[in-house]
Structure 1
Amino acid sequence: MRSVADAAATDDIRGRCEEYAPRMRPWQFFGGETALALYGAPLPEWPHATGVHVCAHRPAREPRIAGVTGHRLQHREPATREHAGLPVEHPARAWRQAATTWRVDDLICAAEFLVSGSRPLSSAAELRDEIEAMGDVRGRLSAALRDVRSGTRSPRETRLRLLLQRGGLPEPDINWTLYDPRGRHVAELDLAYRRWRIGVEYDGRVHAQDARQFAKDADRWDAIRAEGWELVRILNHHMRGDGRVAVDKVRQALARAGWRQ
Protein backbone atom coordinates (compact mmCIF):
# COMPACT_ATOMS: atom_id res chain seq x y z
CA MET A 1 0.00 0.00 0.00
CA ARG A 2 1.47 3.37 -1.01
CA SER A 3 1.49 6.23 1.44
CA VAL A 4 -0.30 9.51 0.81
CA ALA A 5 3.08 11.26 0.71
CA ASP A 6 4.40 8.83 -1.93
CA ALA A 7 1.33 9.29 -4.10
CA ALA A 8 1.56 13.08 -3.85
CA ALA A 9 5.27 13.06 -4.74
CA THR A 10 4.64 10.81 -7.74
CA ASP A 11 1.81 13.03 -8.98
CA ASP A 12 4.05 16.07 -8.64
CA ILE A 13 6.86 14.46 -10.63
CA ARG A 14 4.48 13.21 -13.30
CA GLY A 15 3.02 16.69 -13.71
CA ARG A 16 6.46 18.27 -14.03
CA CYS A 17 7.52 15.65 -16.57
CA GLU A 18 4.39 16.11 -18.66
CA GLU A 19 4.99 19.86 -18.63
CA TYR A 20 8.58 19.48 -19.79
CA ALA A 21 8.10 16.59 -22.26
CA PRO A 22 7.21 18.76 -25.32
CA ARG A 23 10.66 20.36 -25.06
CA MET A 24 12.56 17.06 -25.13
CA ARG A 25 14.66 15.98 -28.09
CA PRO A 26 13.95 12.57 -29.69
CA TRP A 27 17.07 11.05 -28.08
CA GLN A 28 16.31 12.28 -24.55
CA PHE A 29 14.42 10.37 -21.86
CA PHE A 30 13.56 10.49 -18.17
CA GLY A 31 15.97 8.44 -16.09
CA GLY A 32 17.14 7.67 -12.57
CA GLU A 33 14.82 8.53 -9.72
CA THR A 34 12.46 10.34 -12.10
CA ALA A 35 11.89 7.16 -14.11
CA LEU A 36 11.37 5.14 -10.92
CA ALA A 37 8.81 7.70 -9.73
CA LEU A 38 6.96 7.49 -13.05
CA TYR A 39 6.83 3.69 -12.73
CA GLY A 40 5.27 4.16 -9.29
CA ALA A 41 8.23 2.96 -7.22
CA PRO A 42 8.50 4.16 -3.61
CA LEU A 43 10.70 7.21 -3.21
CA PRO A 44 13.14 8.13 -0.43
CA GLU A 45 11.44 9.51 2.64
CA TRP A 46 11.51 13.14 3.74
CA PRO A 47 13.60 15.29 3.49
CA HIS A 48 14.64 13.90 0.09
CA ALA A 49 13.10 15.87 -2.79
CA THR A 50 12.82 13.95 -6.06
CA GLY A 51 13.84 15.95 -9.08
CA VAL A 52 13.34 15.79 -12.85
CA HIS A 53 16.27 13.96 -14.44
CA VAL A 54 16.59 13.84 -18.22
CA CYS A 55 19.25 11.69 -19.87
CA ALA A 56 20.91 11.21 -23.24
CA HIS A 57 23.55 8.75 -24.44
CA ARG A 58 26.82 10.05 -25.84
CA PRO A 59 27.43 11.63 -28.28
CA ALA A 60 23.93 13.15 -28.02
CA ARG A 61 23.52 16.03 -25.60
CA GLU A 62 21.57 16.23 -22.39
CA PRO A 63 19.38 19.26 -21.63
CA ARG A 64 20.81 22.26 -19.81
CA ILE A 65 17.86 24.13 -18.40
CA ALA A 66 16.83 25.41 -15.00
CA GLY A 67 14.66 23.01 -13.03
CA VAL A 68 15.90 19.93 -14.91
CA THR A 69 19.00 17.87 -14.12
CA GLY A 70 20.64 16.67 -17.31
CA HIS A 71 22.79 13.53 -17.57
CA ARG A 72 25.07 12.62 -20.45
CA LEU A 73 25.43 8.85 -20.18
CA GLN A 74 28.17 6.76 -21.73
CA HIS A 75 27.55 5.34 -25.18
CA ARG A 76 25.23 2.37 -24.95
CA GLU A 77 22.33 0.81 -26.82
CA PRO A 78 19.22 2.65 -25.56
CA ALA A 79 16.61 0.67 -23.64
CA THR A 80 13.98 3.34 -23.18
CA ARG A 81 10.30 2.58 -23.31
CA GLU A 82 7.12 4.62 -23.36
CA HIS A 83 5.34 4.72 -20.04
CA ALA A 84 2.19 6.79 -19.54
CA GLY A 85 3.02 8.57 -22.77
CA LEU A 86 6.53 9.58 -21.67
CA PRO A 87 9.97 8.29 -22.76
CA VAL A 88 11.35 6.50 -19.71
CA GLU A 89 14.54 4.58 -18.96
CA HIS A 90 14.40 0.78 -18.49
CA PRO A 91 13.51 0.01 -14.82
CA ALA A 92 16.73 -1.87 -14.02
CA ARG A 93 18.87 0.89 -15.52
CA ALA A 94 16.90 3.58 -13.70
CA TRP A 95 17.42 1.71 -10.43
CA ARG A 96 21.17 1.66 -10.91
CA GLN A 97 21.24 5.33 -11.87
CA ALA A 98 19.39 6.29 -8.68
CA ALA A 99 22.20 4.82 -6.58
CA THR A 100 24.30 7.96 -7.06
CA THR A 101 22.07 9.80 -4.56
CA TRP A 102 19.89 7.17 -2.84
CA ARG A 103 20.73 5.25 0.29
CA VAL A 104 20.84 1.46 0.39
CA ASP A 105 17.43 1.08 2.07
CA ASP A 106 15.82 3.34 -0.53
CA LEU A 107 17.29 1.13 -3.26
CA ILE A 108 15.98 -1.99 -1.52
CA CYS A 109 12.44 -0.57 -1.34
CA ALA A 110 12.49 0.42 -5.01
CA ALA A 111 13.94 -2.94 -6.10
CA GLU A 112 11.31 -4.88 -4.17
CA PHE A 113 8.63 -2.82 -5.91
CA LEU A 114 10.16 -3.63 -9.30
CA VAL A 115 10.40 -7.40 -8.72
CA SER A 116 7.04 -7.88 -6.94
CA GLY A 117 3.40 -7.91 -7.97
CA SER A 118 1.49 -9.93 -10.53
CA ARG A 119 3.36 -8.21 -13.39
CA PRO A 120 6.88 -7.33 -12.17
CA LEU A 121 8.62 -4.50 -14.00
CA SER A 122 11.99 -6.20 -13.60
CA SER A 123 13.65 -9.20 -11.98
CA ALA A 124 16.47 -9.69 -9.50
CA ALA A 125 18.47 -11.23 -12.34
CA GLU A 126 18.04 -8.08 -14.47
CA LEU A 127 19.13 -5.88 -11.58
CA ARG A 128 22.17 -8.09 -11.02
CA ASP A 129 23.01 -8.08 -14.73
CA GLU A 130 22.85 -4.28 -14.77
CA ILE A 131 25.36 -4.08 -11.92
CA GLU A 132 27.69 -6.51 -13.70
CA ALA A 133 27.39 -4.66 -17.00
CA MET A 134 27.79 -1.10 -15.74
CA GLY A 135 29.45 -1.45 -12.37
CA ASP A 136 28.39 -0.79 -8.80
CA VAL A 137 27.99 2.64 -7.19
CA ARG A 138 30.16 2.71 -4.08
CA GLY A 139 28.95 -0.81 -3.24
CA ARG A 140 25.39 0.36 -2.62
CA LEU A 141 23.71 -1.71 -5.31
CA SER A 142 25.27 -5.03 -4.33
CA ALA A 143 24.51 -4.33 -0.68
CA ALA A 144 20.90 -3.54 -1.57
CA LEU A 145 20.41 -6.57 -3.80
CA ARG A 146 21.46 -8.95 -1.03
CA ASP A 147 18.43 -7.86 1.00
CA VAL A 148 15.87 -7.67 -1.82
CA ARG A 149 12.91 -10.06 -1.49
CA SER A 150 9.95 -10.44 -3.83
CA GLY A 151 6.37 -10.29 -2.64
CA THR A 152 6.44 -7.16 -0.50
CA ARG A 153 3.56 -4.73 -0.84
CA SER A 154 4.74 -1.51 0.75
CA PRO A 155 8.04 0.22 1.52
CA ARG A 156 7.13 0.50 5.22
CA GLU A 157 6.80 -3.28 5.40
CA THR A 158 10.21 -3.56 3.77
CA ARG A 159 11.78 -1.08 6.18
CA LEU A 160 10.20 -2.90 9.12
CA ARG A 161 11.60 -6.26 7.96
CA LEU A 162 15.07 -4.77 7.57
CA LEU A 163 14.82 -3.17 11.01
CA LEU A 164 13.96 -6.50 12.64
CA GLN A 165 16.74 -8.40 10.88
CA ARG A 166 19.34 -5.78 11.72
CA GLY A 167 18.12 -5.87 15.31
CA GLY A 168 19.24 -9.47 15.53
CA LEU A 169 15.86 -11.14 14.98
CA PRO A 170 15.22 -14.02 12.55
CA GLU A 171 14.15 -13.20 9.00
CA PRO A 172 10.35 -13.51 8.76
CA ASP A 173 8.26 -14.85 5.89
CA ILE A 174 6.70 -12.14 3.75
CA ASN A 175 2.94 -11.90 3.20
CA TRP A 176 2.36 -15.40 4.51
CA THR A 177 -1.20 -16.77 4.50
CA LEU A 178 -2.64 -18.26 7.68
CA TYR A 179 -5.27 -20.99 7.33
CA ASP A 180 -7.33 -22.67 10.04
CA PRO A 181 -7.17 -26.48 10.59
CA ARG A 182 -9.95 -26.95 8.02
CA GLY A 183 -7.97 -25.13 5.37
CA ARG A 184 -10.06 -21.96 5.47
CA HIS A 185 -8.37 -18.63 4.90
CA VAL A 186 -7.88 -16.62 8.09
CA ALA A 187 -5.51 -13.80 7.16
CA GLU A 188 -2.48 -12.80 5.18
CA LEU A 189 0.23 -11.59 7.51
CA ASP A 190 2.70 -8.90 6.46
CA LEU A 191 5.50 -10.72 8.28
CA ALA A 192 5.26 -14.14 9.90
CA TYR A 193 7.43 -16.20 12.21
CA ARG A 194 5.76 -19.55 11.61
CA ARG A 195 7.89 -21.55 14.02
CA TRP A 196 6.86 -19.31 16.90
CA ARG A 197 3.37 -18.43 15.63
CA ILE A 198 4.07 -14.71 15.70
CA GLY A 199 2.63 -12.31 13.13
CA VAL A 200 3.96 -8.78 12.67
CA GLU A 201 2.09 -6.08 10.81
CA TYR A 202 2.71 -2.46 10.01
CA ASP A 203 -0.43 -0.39 10.49
CA GLY A 204 -0.38 2.74 8.37
CA ARG A 205 -2.41 5.89 8.70
CA VAL A 206 -5.35 4.48 6.70
CA HIS A 207 -6.14 2.03 9.50
CA ALA A 208 -6.70 4.88 11.94
CA GLN A 209 -8.59 7.20 9.59
CA ASP A 210 -10.94 4.70 7.92
CA ALA A 211 -13.51 3.51 10.48
CA ARG A 212 -14.79 0.71 8.25
CA GLN A 213 -11.30 -0.60 7.59
CA PHE A 214 -10.43 -0.37 11.27
CA ALA A 215 -13.50 -2.42 12.23
CA LYS A 216 -12.66 -5.03 9.59
CA ASP A 217 -9.09 -5.22 10.86
CA ALA A 218 -10.23 -5.62 14.46
CA ASP A 219 -12.27 -8.71 13.52
CA ARG A 220 -9.29 -10.03 11.60
CA TRP A 221 -6.98 -9.58 14.59
CA ASP A 222 -9.38 -11.61 16.72
CA ALA A 223 -9.45 -14.38 14.11
CA ILE A 224 -5.64 -14.52 14.06
CA ARG A 225 -5.44 -14.78 17.84
CA ALA A 226 -8.13 -17.48 17.83
CA GLU A 227 -5.70 -19.67 15.84
CA GLY A 228 -3.14 -19.44 18.62
CA TRP A 229 -1.04 -16.72 17.04
CA GLU A 230 0.21 -13.54 18.70
CA LEU A 231 -0.07 -10.47 16.50
CA VAL A 232 2.36 -7.58 16.98
CA ARG A 233 1.12 -4.33 15.48
CA ILE A 234 3.78 -1.79 14.61
CA LEU A 235 2.79 1.84 14.12
CA ASN A 236 4.81 4.61 12.54
CA HIS A 237 6.01 6.08 15.82
CA HIS A 238 7.45 2.69 16.84
CA MET A 239 9.85 2.93 13.88
CA ARG A 240 11.08 6.45 14.47
CA GLY A 241 14.71 7.10 15.28
CA ASP A 242 16.64 3.86 15.45
CA GLY A 243 13.42 1.81 15.51
CA ARG A 244 14.37 0.18 18.80
CA VAL A 245 10.77 0.26 20.05
CA ALA A 246 9.56 -1.81 17.08
CA VAL A 247 12.41 -4.31 17.44
CA ASP A 248 11.83 -4.68 21.18
CA LYS A 249 8.10 -5.30 20.73
CA VAL A 250 8.77 -8.15 18.31
CA ARG A 251 11.70 -9.50 20.33
CA GLN A 252 9.52 -9.73 23.45
CA ALA A 253 6.78 -11.57 21.53
CA LEU A 254 9.29 -14.06 20.14
CA ALA A 255 10.79 -14.59 23.60
CA ARG A 256 7.34 -15.33 25.01
CA ALA A 257 6.95 -17.95 22.30
CA GLY A 258 10.24 -19.66 23.19
CA TRP A 259 12.75 -18.01 20.83
CA ARG A 260 16.24 -17.42 22.21
CA GLN A 261 18.78 -15.24 20.48
Structure 2
Amino acid sequence: MSPSDAQYDPEIFTLDEGRRLGLSRHRLYRSGLEIPFHRLRIPPPPLERAASPVSNSELARTLSRQDRSLVISHQTAAETWGMWLPSRMQATQIHLSRVRCRAGIPRYQGAVGHFIRPGVRDVRVVDGYSITSPEWTWVDLASQRLTVNELVAAGDALLQRKDGFPRPGKFIGTHPLATKDSILDVLSRRKGSPGIKKLRLAVDLLRARVDSEPESRLRLKMVADGCDEPTVNPRIRFADGWECDIDLALLTWRISLQYEGKHHFTLEKQYRSDLNRDEQIRARGWEPIRVDSEVFTRQGWHAFRFRLTTALERQQRQTSWMPFTAGT
Protein backbone atom coordinates (compact mmCIF):
# COMPACT_ATOMS: atom_id res chain seq x y z
CA MET A 1 0.00 0.00 0.00
CA SER A 2 1.33 3.40 -0.97
CA PRO A 3 1.33 6.38 1.46
CA SER A 4 -1.66 7.91 -0.31
CA ASP A 5 -3.52 4.59 0.06
CA ALA A 6 -2.89 4.51 3.78
CA GLN A 7 -4.27 8.00 4.27
CA TYR A 8 -7.51 7.26 2.44
CA ASP A 9 -10.11 5.49 4.56
CA PRO A 10 -13.61 6.23 3.24
CA GLU A 11 -16.44 3.77 3.60
CA ILE A 12 -17.08 3.80 -0.15
CA PHE A 13 -15.66 5.65 -3.17
CA THR A 14 -15.77 5.73 -6.97
CA LEU A 15 -12.92 4.88 -9.30
CA ASP A 16 -12.61 8.54 -10.29
CA GLU A 17 -12.35 9.59 -6.65
CA GLY A 18 -9.71 6.92 -6.06
CA ARG A 19 -7.64 8.10 -9.04
CA ARG A 20 -7.84 11.73 -7.92
CA LEU A 21 -6.43 10.66 -4.56
CA GLY A 22 -3.54 8.84 -6.20
CA LEU A 23 -4.58 5.22 -5.73
CA SER A 24 -2.71 2.89 -8.08
CA ARG A 25 -4.39 0.79 -10.77
CA HIS A 26 -3.39 -2.36 -8.89
CA ARG A 27 -4.97 -0.96 -5.72
CA LEU A 28 -8.20 -0.12 -7.54
CA TYR A 29 -8.60 -3.34 -9.55
CA ARG A 30 -6.60 -6.18 -8.00
CA SER A 31 -6.32 -5.60 -4.27
CA GLY A 32 -8.78 -6.58 -1.57
CA LEU A 33 -11.34 -3.88 -2.32
CA GLU A 34 -14.99 -4.93 -2.40
CA ILE A 35 -16.85 -4.10 -5.63
CA PRO A 36 -20.57 -3.65 -4.77
CA PHE A 37 -21.41 -2.02 -8.13
CA HIS A 38 -19.60 -1.16 -11.34
CA ARG A 39 -17.02 1.58 -10.68
CA LEU A 40 -17.58 1.57 -6.90
CA ARG A 41 -15.08 0.33 -4.33
CA ILE A 42 -15.30 -0.40 -0.59
CA PRO A 43 -11.97 -0.64 1.27
CA PRO A 44 -11.43 -3.06 4.17
CA PRO A 45 -11.78 -1.41 7.60
CA PRO A 46 -8.72 -0.54 9.70
CA LEU A 47 -7.53 -3.30 12.02
CA GLU A 48 -8.70 -1.39 15.11
CA ARG A 49 -12.27 -1.10 13.80
CA ALA A 50 -14.69 -3.94 13.11
CA ALA A 51 -16.17 -4.16 9.64
CA SER A 52 -19.66 -2.68 9.24
CA PRO A 53 -21.72 -3.16 6.08
CA VAL A 54 -22.23 -0.16 3.83
CA SER A 55 -25.91 0.74 3.80
CA ASN A 56 -28.05 0.81 0.67
CA SER A 57 -28.45 4.54 1.20
CA GLU A 58 -24.67 5.09 1.10
CA LEU A 59 -24.34 2.95 -2.03
CA ALA A 60 -27.16 4.84 -3.75
CA ARG A 61 -25.69 8.24 -2.83
CA THR A 62 -22.31 7.30 -4.30
CA LEU A 63 -23.88 5.94 -7.50
CA SER A 64 -25.94 9.11 -7.94
CA ARG A 65 -22.87 11.30 -7.43
CA GLN A 66 -21.08 9.27 -10.09
CA ASP A 67 -23.99 9.33 -12.57
CA ARG A 68 -25.95 12.59 -12.22
CA SER A 69 -28.89 11.15 -14.18
CA LEU A 70 -29.66 8.73 -11.32
CA VAL A 71 -32.24 9.71 -8.71
CA ILE A 72 -32.51 7.84 -5.40
CA SER A 73 -36.15 6.83 -4.98
CA HIS A 74 -38.75 4.58 -3.35
CA GLN A 75 -37.60 2.58 -0.30
CA THR A 76 -33.98 3.73 -0.57
CA ALA A 77 -35.07 7.36 -0.61
CA ALA A 78 -37.33 6.69 2.41
CA GLU A 79 -34.39 5.19 4.30
CA THR A 80 -32.21 8.18 3.37
CA TRP A 81 -34.84 10.65 4.63
CA GLY A 82 -35.29 8.59 7.80
CA MET A 83 -38.94 7.67 7.28
CA TRP A 84 -40.38 5.00 9.59
CA LEU A 85 -40.70 1.74 7.67
CA PRO A 86 -42.00 -1.63 8.91
CA SER A 87 -39.37 -4.05 10.16
CA ARG A 88 -40.45 -6.60 7.55
CA MET A 89 -39.01 -4.36 4.82
CA GLN A 90 -35.48 -5.70 4.99
CA ALA A 91 -33.94 -3.99 1.98
CA THR A 92 -31.78 -6.26 -0.14
CA GLN A 93 -31.81 -4.02 -3.21
CA ILE A 94 -31.44 -0.33 -3.82
CA HIS A 95 -33.98 1.70 -5.78
CA LEU A 96 -32.77 4.11 -8.46
CA SER A 97 -34.78 6.12 -10.98
CA ARG A 98 -34.29 8.23 -14.05
CA VAL A 99 -36.58 10.87 -15.45
CA ARG A 100 -38.51 9.34 -18.37
CA CYS A 101 -37.41 10.45 -21.86
CA ARG A 102 -34.05 11.76 -20.57
CA ALA A 103 -32.21 8.45 -20.25
CA GLY A 104 -32.83 4.71 -20.07
CA ILE A 105 -34.09 2.91 -17.02
CA PRO A 106 -31.26 2.25 -14.50
CA ARG A 107 -29.85 -1.24 -14.83
CA TYR A 108 -27.47 -2.31 -12.10
CA GLN A 109 -27.09 -5.78 -10.67
CA GLY A 110 -28.67 -5.72 -7.20
CA ALA A 111 -30.70 -2.59 -7.94
CA VAL A 112 -34.32 -1.95 -8.94
CA GLY A 113 -34.71 0.59 -11.73
CA HIS A 114 -37.67 2.94 -12.21
CA PHE A 115 -38.87 5.70 -14.52
CA ILE A 116 -40.36 8.80 -12.89
CA ARG A 117 -42.04 11.99 -14.13
CA PRO A 118 -41.39 14.45 -11.29
CA GLY A 119 -41.81 18.19 -11.26
CA VAL A 120 -38.82 20.44 -10.65
CA ARG A 121 -39.51 20.64 -6.91
CA ASP A 122 -40.00 16.87 -6.59
CA VAL A 123 -36.29 16.05 -6.90
CA ARG A 124 -33.76 17.46 -4.44
CA VAL A 125 -30.00 17.71 -4.91
CA VAL A 126 -28.15 17.08 -1.64
CA ASP A 127 -24.34 16.93 -1.35
CA GLY A 128 -24.00 16.18 -5.05
CA TYR A 129 -26.61 13.41 -5.38
CA SER A 130 -30.26 13.52 -6.44
CA ILE A 131 -33.15 12.13 -4.41
CA THR A 132 -36.93 12.31 -4.69
CA SER A 133 -38.53 14.78 -2.28
CA PRO A 134 -39.99 13.45 0.99
CA GLU A 135 -43.54 13.98 -0.30
CA TRP A 136 -42.87 12.23 -3.64
CA THR A 137 -41.10 9.40 -1.80
CA TRP A 138 -44.09 8.91 0.50
CA VAL A 139 -46.43 8.50 -2.48
CA ASP A 140 -43.99 6.00 -4.06
CA LEU A 141 -44.08 3.86 -0.93
CA ALA A 142 -47.67 2.84 -1.67
CA SER A 143 -46.32 0.70 -4.51
CA GLN A 144 -44.08 -1.16 -2.02
CA ARG A 145 -47.02 -3.06 -0.46
CA LEU A 146 -47.30 -0.97 2.69
CA THR A 147 -50.59 -1.07 4.56
CA VAL A 148 -52.58 2.08 5.32
CA ASN A 149 -51.27 2.15 8.90
CA GLU A 150 -47.69 1.68 7.70
CA LEU A 151 -48.13 4.56 5.26
CA VAL A 152 -49.44 6.70 8.12
CA ALA A 153 -46.34 5.94 10.21
CA ALA A 154 -44.06 6.77 7.26
CA GLY A 155 -45.96 10.02 6.68
CA ASP A 156 -45.92 10.96 10.38
CA ALA A 157 -42.13 10.71 10.23
CA LEU A 158 -42.14 13.62 7.75
CA LEU A 159 -44.20 15.80 10.11
CA GLN A 160 -42.12 15.43 13.28
CA ARG A 161 -41.84 18.50 15.50
CA LYS A 162 -38.84 20.74 15.13
CA ASP A 163 -38.18 20.77 18.88
CA GLY A 164 -38.40 16.99 19.34
CA PHE A 165 -35.72 14.33 19.54
CA PRO A 166 -32.38 15.12 17.83
CA ARG A 167 -32.25 13.79 14.28
CA PRO A 168 -29.68 10.99 13.74
CA GLY A 169 -26.74 12.11 11.63
CA LYS A 170 -27.15 9.27 9.13
CA PHE A 171 -30.37 10.87 7.84
CA ILE A 172 -30.65 14.02 5.74
CA GLY A 173 -32.82 17.09 6.25
CA THR A 174 -34.29 18.67 9.36
CA HIS A 175 -37.67 18.32 11.09
CA PRO A 176 -40.26 18.73 9.79
CA LEU A 177 -39.38 17.34 6.36
CA ALA A 178 -42.81 18.20 4.94
CA THR A 179 -46.21 19.64 5.78
CA LYS A 180 -49.66 18.16 5.37
CA ASP A 181 -50.34 20.70 2.60
CA SER A 182 -47.16 19.82 0.68
CA ILE A 183 -48.05 16.12 0.85
CA LEU A 184 -51.57 16.85 -0.40
CA ASP A 185 -50.11 18.90 -3.27
CA VAL A 186 -48.00 15.99 -4.53
CA LEU A 187 -50.88 13.56 -4.02
CA SER A 188 -53.17 15.78 -6.13
CA ARG A 189 -50.63 15.68 -8.97
CA ARG A 190 -50.23 11.89 -8.86
CA LYS A 191 -53.81 10.69 -9.15
CA GLY A 192 -52.86 7.58 -11.12
CA SER A 193 -50.13 6.36 -8.77
CA PRO A 194 -50.21 2.74 -7.56
CA GLY A 195 -52.01 2.48 -4.23
CA ILE A 196 -53.78 5.83 -4.61
CA LYS A 197 -56.80 4.60 -2.62
CA LYS A 198 -54.59 3.63 0.33
CA LEU A 199 -52.79 6.97 0.09
CA ARG A 200 -56.06 8.92 0.25
CA LEU A 201 -57.08 6.99 3.37
CA ALA A 202 -53.66 7.41 4.95
CA VAL A 203 -53.26 11.14 4.31
CA ASP A 204 -56.36 11.91 6.39
CA LEU A 205 -54.80 10.04 9.32
CA LEU A 206 -51.45 11.86 9.29
CA ARG A 207 -50.69 13.93 12.38
CA ALA A 208 -47.92 16.45 13.01
CA ARG A 209 -45.52 16.44 15.98
CA VAL A 210 -45.27 12.65 16.42
CA ASP A 211 -41.91 11.70 17.96
CA SER A 212 -41.70 8.00 17.15
CA GLU A 213 -43.18 5.20 15.08
CA PRO A 214 -44.65 3.39 18.15
CA GLU A 215 -46.58 6.56 19.02
CA SER A 216 -48.19 6.45 15.57
CA ARG A 217 -49.04 2.77 15.95
CA LEU A 218 -50.53 3.28 19.41
CA ARG A 219 -52.68 6.21 18.26
CA LEU A 220 -54.03 4.25 15.28
CA LYS A 221 -54.67 1.13 17.36
CA MET A 222 -56.64 3.15 19.91
CA VAL A 223 -58.83 4.70 17.22
CA ALA A 224 -59.40 1.33 15.53
CA ASP A 225 -60.45 -0.12 18.91
CA GLY A 226 -63.07 2.57 19.46
CA CYS A 227 -61.13 4.88 21.78
CA ASP A 228 -61.09 8.65 21.46
CA GLU A 229 -58.20 9.81 19.30
CA PRO A 230 -55.44 11.15 21.56
CA THR A 231 -53.83 14.52 20.96
CA VAL A 232 -50.24 14.21 19.76
CA ASN A 233 -47.45 15.73 21.87
CA PRO A 234 -49.36 18.62 23.45
CA ARG A 235 -47.63 20.93 25.90
CA ILE A 236 -49.80 21.06 29.00
CA ARG A 237 -49.60 24.27 31.02
CA PHE A 238 -51.14 24.09 34.50
CA ALA A 239 -52.60 26.95 36.54
CA ASP A 240 -49.65 26.99 38.94
CA GLY A 241 -47.23 27.60 36.05
CA TRP A 242 -45.77 24.09 35.79
CA GLU A 243 -45.82 22.60 32.29
CA CYS A 244 -44.74 19.45 30.47
CA ASP A 245 -44.88 17.67 27.12
CA ILE A 246 -46.95 14.48 26.83
CA ASP A 247 -46.60 11.87 24.06
CA LEU A 248 -50.34 11.31 23.69
CA ALA A 249 -53.13 12.87 25.74
CA LEU A 250 -56.86 12.38 26.18
CA LEU A 251 -57.39 16.01 27.09
CA THR A 252 -61.08 15.76 27.96
CA TRP A 253 -60.38 13.15 30.62
CA ARG A 254 -56.95 14.45 31.66
CA ILE A 255 -55.18 11.16 30.86
CA SER A 256 -51.57 11.13 29.67
CA LEU A 257 -50.06 8.27 27.68
CA GLN A 258 -46.28 7.98 27.61
CA TYR A 259 -44.59 5.46 25.34
CA GLU A 260 -41.37 4.25 26.93
CA GLY A 261 -38.60 3.02 24.66
CA LYS A 262 -35.71 0.89 25.91
CA HIS A 263 -33.63 3.94 26.81
CA HIS A 264 -36.28 5.05 29.31
CA PHE A 265 -35.54 1.98 31.42
CA THR A 266 -31.79 1.60 30.85
CA LEU A 267 -30.83 5.25 31.56
CA GLU A 268 -31.24 6.00 35.26
CA LYS A 269 -31.53 9.77 34.77
CA GLN A 270 -34.28 9.34 32.15
CA TYR A 271 -36.11 6.82 34.32
CA ARG A 272 -36.15 9.15 37.32
CA SER A 273 -37.28 12.05 35.14
CA ASP A 274 -40.21 9.99 33.86
CA LEU A 275 -41.25 9.04 37.40
CA ASN A 276 -41.06 12.65 38.54
CA ARG A 277 -43.21 13.78 35.60
CA ASP A 278 -45.85 11.16 36.42
CA GLU A 279 -45.93 12.25 40.06
CA GLN A 280 -46.27 15.91 39.07
CA ILE A 281 -49.18 15.40 36.69
CA ARG A 282 -50.94 12.99 39.08
CA ALA A 283 -50.76 15.63 41.81
CA ARG A 284 -52.51 18.01 39.42
CA GLY A 285 -55.48 15.73 38.77
CA TRP A 286 -54.23 13.77 35.76
CA GLU A 287 -54.00 10.01 35.29
CA PRO A 288 -50.63 8.93 33.80
CA ILE A 289 -50.35 5.64 31.90
CA ARG A 290 -46.96 4.37 30.75
CA VAL A 291 -46.72 1.72 28.03
CA ASP A 292 -43.96 -0.05 26.14
CA SER A 293 -43.69 -2.43 23.19
CA GLU A 294 -45.71 -5.04 25.09
CA VAL A 295 -48.84 -3.00 24.29
CA PHE A 296 -48.71 -4.28 20.70
CA THR A 297 -49.15 -7.90 21.81
CA ARG A 298 -52.62 -9.35 22.38
CA GLN A 299 -52.11 -9.78 26.12
CA GLY A 300 -50.43 -6.39 26.46
CA TRP A 301 -53.27 -4.66 24.63
CA HIS A 302 -55.92 -6.21 26.88
CA ALA A 303 -53.93 -5.04 29.92
CA PHE A 304 -53.66 -1.53 28.48
CA ARG A 305 -57.40 -1.34 27.74
CA PHE A 306 -58.16 -2.36 31.33
CA ARG A 307 -55.85 0.34 32.69
CA LEU A 308 -57.34 2.92 30.35
CA THR A 309 -60.93 2.00 31.27
CA THR A 310 -60.06 2.15 34.97
CA ALA A 311 -58.42 5.55 34.53
CA LEU A 312 -61.46 6.87 32.67
CA GLU A 313 -63.78 5.70 35.44
CA ARG A 314 -61.62 7.39 38.08
CA GLN A 315 -61.56 10.65 36.15
CA GLN A 316 -65.32 10.58 35.64
CA ARG A 317 -65.80 10.26 39.39
CA GLN A 318 -63.45 13.17 40.09
CA THR A 319 -65.41 16.31 40.93
CA SER A 320 -62.66 18.92 40.67
CA TRP A 321 -59.28 19.45 39.06
CA MET A 322 -56.78 22.24 38.49
CA PRO A 323 -57.49 24.09 35.24
CA PHE A 324 -55.02 23.91 32.41
CA THR A 325 -54.56 25.09 28.85
CA ALA A 326 -53.21 22.96 26.04
CA GLY A 327 -51.13 24.39 23.23
CA THR A 328 -48.36 23.48 20.87
TM-score range, shorter chain: 0.7 to 0.9
Label 1:150 to 1:76 Cα distance change in 2 as closer, same or farther (>3 A): closer
Q: CA deviation at 1:13?
A: 3.3
* 1:175 match: 233
- Partner of residue 98, structure 1: 141
* Alignment counterpart, residue 31 of structure 1, candidates 69, 73, 96: 73
The reply to whether residue 123 of structure 1 matches residue 179 of structure 2 is yes
How far 1:19 moved relative to its partner? 4.7
Cα distance per residue 1:200-229 (max 9 Å; x no partner):
111111111112211221112111211111
Match of 1:54 in 2: 96
Q: Does 1:111 align with 2:187?
A: no
Question: What is the CA distance between 1:145 and its match in structure 2?
Answer: 0.5
Tell me, in whole angstroms, the C-alpha distance in 2 between the residues paired with 1:243 and 1:105: 20
Show the 5 A alignment for 1:11-90. Answer: 12-23=55-66, 25-44=67-86, 46-50=87-91, 51-59=93-101, 60-73=103-116, 75-78=117-120, 79-90=122-133
Q: TM-score, normalised by structure 2?
A: 0.69
Q: Would you say how many aligned residue pairs link Structure 1 and Structure 2? A: 245
Q: Is the 8 A contact 1:163 1:243 kept in 2?
A: no
Partners of 1:132 and 1:248 in 2: CA distance:
42
Aligned partner letter, 1:14? S
Confirm or deny: 8 A CA contact 2:153 2:213 kept in the other structure: yes
Residue among 177, 184, 190 paired with 1:134 = 190
Residue identity opposite 1:193 in structure 2: L
Query: Could you say if the C-alpha distance between residues 76 and 193 of structure 1 is closer, same or farther in structure 2, counting changes exceeding 3 Å?
Result: closer
The aligned residue for residue 216 of structure 1 is 273
Q: Summarize deviations over 1:54-85 as a string: whole Å, max 9, x none.
A: 01121222221222111122x44443112354
- State percent identity of aligned pairs: 25
Q: CA deviation digits over 1:136-155, x for unaligned, max 9?
A: 53311011011011111111
Contact 2:65/2:129 (CA < 8 Å) preserved in 1? no
- Aligned partners of 1:243, 1:61: CA distance in 2, in Å? 51
The residue identity in structure 2 corresponding to 1:196 is W
SS in 2 for 1:258: helix
Structure (1 or 2) with the larger CA radius of gyration: 2
In the TM superposition, residue 162 of structure 1 has moved relative to its aligned partner by 0.6
Find the residue that maps to 1:120 and give its secondary structure.
coil
Contact 1:192 1:198 in 2 (8 A): yes
- Which structure exhibits the higher relative contact order, with contacts defined as CA atoms closer than 8 Å and separated by 6 or more residues? 1
Q: Which runs of 5+ in 1 are unaligned?
A: 1-10
